[in-house]
Structure 1
Amino acid sequence: MSLYFLQHYWWILISILGGVLVFLLFVQGGQSLLYTLGKNKEERDLIVNSLGHKWELTFTTLVVFGGAFFASFPLFYSTSFGGAYGVWMLILFCFVLQAVSFEYRNKPRNFLGTRTYEVFLMVNGFAAPLLLGAAVATFFTGSPFRLGMMHDVEWTTPWRGLDALFVITNYFLALAVFFLARTLAALYFILTVDNKDIRTRSHKQVLYNSLPFVLFFLLFLGSILIGKGYAITPDGTIALVEYKYFQNLLEMPLNTVILLIGVIGVLFGIIRAILVPQWNKGIWFAGAGTVLTVVGLFIIAGFNNTAFYPSSVDPDSSLTIYNSSSSLYTLKAMSWVSLIVPIVIAYIWYAWRSMTRKAMNIKDLEESDNKY
């Protein structure tokens, strides 16, 4: 296991974790639809409890994603969290609101009231996908930082990561992730909620949210493919190159196939759910397609001599999988630990299937002793 191999191996693992995280954002999408799909307290209780079985998976995946990034590419972690801490603190705050809301929403003598915690859930549902989408978009558009001789970080704006909101391309991906999360949530409710009214409204939301998702995703993909990308030159410096990400598509055909299969999976799950109302398996196709699509985008950003965290003010400060990785010893030791990942994934799959084997209805909720 050479250092070169391990750097690529760990970037693939990071890509898979990123794909799973984006898929699990359907929980946030469902929270943003709380008052759109739930017209009374019983329906909102049903929606919240359907999501309540899954919200911890999203938070856990976010933590594992961050931990894996820290261990395998520590310079990225220190650069991003050391400079762009504003956006990361907002993301963390959103998830703290979510955890508190699920825990206390239906607690007796809760002095803030149920509606307050539902508002907190909606804040997390709107803000988290937008902020995470904008943060990931900077992998392609760049951030305003410089690295010193000792890898100390100088952020050249006072916005500390929120400057990502001043780049139009970042909005394309942020909005694409947001509407995708809502689309996946609607597909999830069609499968897991046994309530005719909620399912009818969910079918409508699949259509209403998938259209802007496709629009903004195409705008983002078009922007990066026809724009400039940050490439490692033969002399080891970083330079802007025309159509770099499009070149990556052409020069990595296997990854291009993965990306296309992912896009087709998402579209198939959405289109069939719209055309065949009685079909409820759309979340599986769209979810798997989401993971593959995100993996494809991460590979485009990090492989083929590409800087995955570019500096827009000092290209030579840009981070690549080569100059930001841990040592050979660390990556090798962690690679043995990573062999348990399939076991963890198998457990998550088993737990998921056990909790969603039967769609939830009002009667099940009334008989449950554990309500969110």
Structure 2
Amino acid sequence: MELPLDYPTLRVIWWGLLGVLLIGFALTDGYDLGVATLLPFVAKTDAERRLVINTIGPMWEGHQVWLILGGGAIFAAWPYVYAVSFSGFYLAMFVVLSALILRPVGFKYRSKRESTAWRSSWDWALFIGGFVPALIFGVAVGNVLRGVPFDFDSMLRATYEGGLFGLLNPFALLVGLVSVAMLVMHGASWIVVKAEKGPVRDRAARFGSIAAMLTIGLFVIAGIWTATLLPGYTITTDVLLDGPSNPMRKAVSVEAGAWVNNFVRYPWMVLAPLMAVAGAFLAAVSLGKKRNAASLAGSAMSVFGVVATAGVSMFPFILPSSLNPDASLTVWDSSSSHGTLFFMLIMTVIFVPLILLYTGWVFKVLWGRVTSEQATSPGSY
């Protein structure tokens, strides 16, 4: 059966959709992680901490849909990527999931007892549930940019030769710090928008301004490292854009600074890092002046730009291999079949707009500042 969209176009569409899902998760659950990371520092009393928790309490669960959709998209559209990454990063993912599990438990149990020690323990659990995923997600991106130690045998069975502590290399930790600073900035912007005027909002604005400037500094350092020292990957053979998915039918070279080639070849891609820096600067200035909408818009722009920069710099690579560069997974050789991508796209066109409409409706219903009276009333978090 002749399908309306050709195979190469569908592959690029699904590469873009994967980026959209990751950005959607970073924009929504990202500020949840940032708020949780800030919790012990912007709130000093029990009432203040309940105020902070209630800025995200009613809606954080809905944001998990982007994480689930992202994992599902990798499983269905990029099976090779799913097989290698979910196996190779298994221990790191276990750490992330363990930290994320602390969030629902912390939200539900924190205020069940009046004990100061009890509530303080859950506050730090919520901090771990915010900080650890923010760091590990960035570390994962840093390792993808460096290349992941995997290979395929003659039967296309994947082998991985890395370990949990091998992921904690200097460049990956730098990218992890970019992620933490970025999401703390985003979380602080959310608190400034949602919390009533008072000391919590003032502290969040101060921490957010610092985090925004750190985002710029760390992002620029990571960019210079990537452009000058970090090995990048380049396909050196002809690429069959509509061929069957087999990552072992190409040759790949590795050279320092290769990840910036796309910005030279496609100058419009420079918009991504410009958005990352300009958005963080806008957030820093707006947080200092308590301009609520501008600070949140700036932090959202920066989050979009940071995630997009990693994606466009690597195209067409999705998961490069440091063990055998020729085994690297790209847009052109690691996707599902033509028919699978097309029928999945139909489902996506139907259901993603519904998710966006529902998310928008929830934001509309729950919009408005959270007050201390609401945060400490019975039934609140």
Length-normalised TM-score, structure 2: 0.89
Deviation at 1:108, TM superposition (A): 5.4
Q: Secondary structure of the residue that 2:296 maps to in structure 1?
A: helix
Q: 1:107 to 1:60 in 2, by over 3 A?
A: farther
> Residues 282 and 294 of structure 2 are in contact (CA less than 8 Å); yes or no, is this contact kept in structure 1?
no
Provide the residue aligned with 1:3 in structure 2: 7
2:21 corresponds to 1:21: no
Percent identity of equivalent pairs: 23
Question: Alpha-carbon deviations, 1:132-153, whole Å to 9, x = none?
Answer: 0011122211111222223322
Provide the residue aligned with 2:304 in structure 1: 291
> Residues 237 and 252 of structure 2 are in contact (CA less than 8 Å); yes or no, is this contact kept in structure 1?
no
Q: Write the distance in 2 (CA, Å) between the matches of 1:320 and 1:336.
A: 23
Question: Alpha-carbon deviations, 1:264-284, whole Å to 9, x = none?
Answer: 23321222322x235453112
Q: Secondary structure of the residue that 2:318 maps to in structure 1?
A: coil
- Of 263, 275, 292, the match for 1:261: 275
Q: Write the distance in 1 (CA, Å) between the matches of 2:345 and 2:15.
A: 12
- The correspondence of residues 340-359 of structure 1 with structure 2, limited to 5 A, is 340=350, 341-356=352-367, 358-359=368-369
Stretches of 4+ aligned residues off by more than 6 angstroms: none
2:234 corresponds to 1:231: yes
Deviation at 1:262, TM superposition (A): 4.4
Deviation at 1:195, TM superposition (A): 3.6
Deviation at 1:311, TM superposition (A): 1.3
- Of 302, 308, 312, the match for 2:318: 308
2:178 corresponds to 1:176: yes
> Residues 191 and 281 of structure 1 are in contact (CA less than 8 Å); yes or no, is this contact kept in structure 2?
no
Q: Secondary structure of the residue that 1:312 maps to in structure 2?
A: coil
- Specify every segment of 5 or more residues in structure 1 that has no aligned partner in the other structure, as ranges: none
2:59 corresponds to 1:49: no
- The correspondence of residues 155-304 of structure 1 with structure 2, limited to 5 A, is 155-157=160-162, 159=163, 161-166=164-169, 168-226=170-228, 227-235=230-238, 236-274=250-288, 276-277=289-290, 279-303=292-316
Q: Secondary structure of the residue that 1:106 maps to in structure 2?
A: helix
> Residues 27 and 51 of structure 1 are in contact (CA less than 8 Å); yes or no, is this contact kept in structure 2?
yes
Provide the residue aligned with 1:85 in structure 2: 90
Q: Write the distance in 2 (CA, Å) between the matches of 1:109 and 1:153.
A: 52
Q: Secondary structure of the residue that 1:308 maps to in structure 2?
A: strand
Deviation at 1:295, TM superposition (A): 2.3
2:145 corresponds to 1:140: yes
Provide the residue aligned with 2:244 in structure 1: none
> Residues 86 and 162 of structure 1 are in contact (CA less than 8 Å); yes or no, is this contact kept in structure 2?
no
Q: Write the distance in 1 (CA, Å) between the matches of 2:356 and 2:301.
A: 13
- Of 309, 313, 322, the match for 2:332: 322
Deviation at 1:346, TM superposition (A): 2.9
Length-normalised TM-score, structure 1: 0.91
Deviation at 1:198, TM superposition (A): 0.7
> Residues 206 and 287 of structure 2 are in contact (CA less than 8 Å); yes or no, is this contact kept in structure 1?
no
**Bigger mean CA deviation after superposition, 289-298 or 14-23:** 289-298
Provide the residue aligned with 2:70 in structure 1: 65
Root-mean-square deviation (Å): 2.2
Q: Secondary structure of the residue that 1:239 maps to in structure 2?
A: strand
Aligned AA for 2:223? Answer: L
Q: Write the distance in 1 (CA, Å) between the matches of 2:167 and 2:215.
A: 20
Q: Write the distance in 2 (CA, Å) between the matches of 1:279 and 1:332.
A: 41
Question: Alpha-carbon deviations, 1:166-189, whole Å to 9, x = none?
Answer: 2x2111110011011111111111
2:338 corresponds to 1:335: no
Q: Write the distance in 1 (CA, Å) between the matches of 2:176 and 2:186.
A: 15
